[in-house]
Amino acid sequence: MELSKADEQSILTEILDIKKDILKMIYEAQSGHPGGSLSCANIIYLLYNKIMRINPKDPSWKERDIFILSKGHAAPALYAVLSRFGFIKREDLFTLRQYGSKLQGHPVKNSKLGIEISTGSLGMGLSIGVGCALAAKLDNIDRSIFVLLGDGELNEGAIWEAAMSANHYKLDNLIAIVDRNGIQIDGSTEEVMALEPLAEKWKAFGWEVIELDGSNLTEMLRGFERSKTIIGRPKVIISYLIKGSDISFMQHTKEFHGRAPNETEYNAALKELDDIKTKLIKGDI
């Protein structure tokens, strides 16, 4: 799949606005996880915009594809994208983590809002995805199941039990995506619990592995298109991303894994996003 320059510019602009919404949600709540929400915003947006079959007018549409945010602490990214596609009212975004809000710090299943599964207990999402994919096979429903995993989440043993099961049942309708930003709450993934050689691990479990630059829209879309051609085995896309992407002082650090920005940091972050957007519109980047 190729993107025209105008289409790419439109998508990148939309993603920058989504990142502003993410920051505003977390800032106003003074609670949340900006780093991992910013890193995966483009993946979730591309899935809903270009890849998945969805129907905002009928969120429970039988033939829809299913997205599971296994790294549930990145819920602001999911909510912001769902808002862009009409599942969530924009004004409700900024009730994040408030008492009585339907948008809590981790996703809570709500069919009307397009939130498929309650997640946040790390390591569970892939197992749920295996169940959904197997059910679709048994019910003869042509449906893809997309599961977004954090790389630090791969420390969980349940991930690898699910990976083994997915291969055993030949779940070629299951696509896992790893947000490979290299940082988890306590530091570098390689210092906390080394994951490399990560691609070889997935291959050893019988998965088709696609490695790509998650910041490159065309490369991402080609990866998803390629995944559709793989028959008889589950697929995993290892997407190399940047923690806290597009915000200079949030990038490549654990500091903003689970800390809301203060007022000075928030305003500085918005300015950086606006500056990038201006350059993008002018064609300077």
Matching CATH number, 5-282, of 3.20.20.20, 3.40.50.970, 3.40.640.10, 3.30.465.10: 3.40.50.970
pLDDT for the residue 26: 98
Distance from the first to the final alpha carbon of the chain: 21
Closest CA to 78 of 30, 32, 50, 43: 43
Mean pLDDT across 190-203: 98
Q: Read off the amino acid at residue 211.
A: E
Asked if 112 contacts 79 with a C-beta cutoff of 8 angstroms, the reply is no
Q: What is the pLDDT of residues 27-74, one digit of tens each?
A: 999 999 999 999 999 999 999 999 999 999 999 999 999 999 999 999
Q: What is the pLDDT of residues 115-125, one digit of tens each?
A: 999 998 999 99
pLDDT for the residue 284: 82
pLDDT for the residue 212: 98
How far CA 156 is from CA of 26, 34, 107, 271, in Å, comes to 26, 22, 19, 37
What's the token pair of residue 108? 């809570």
Mean pLDDT across 127-143: 97
The model scores a pTM over 0.95: yes
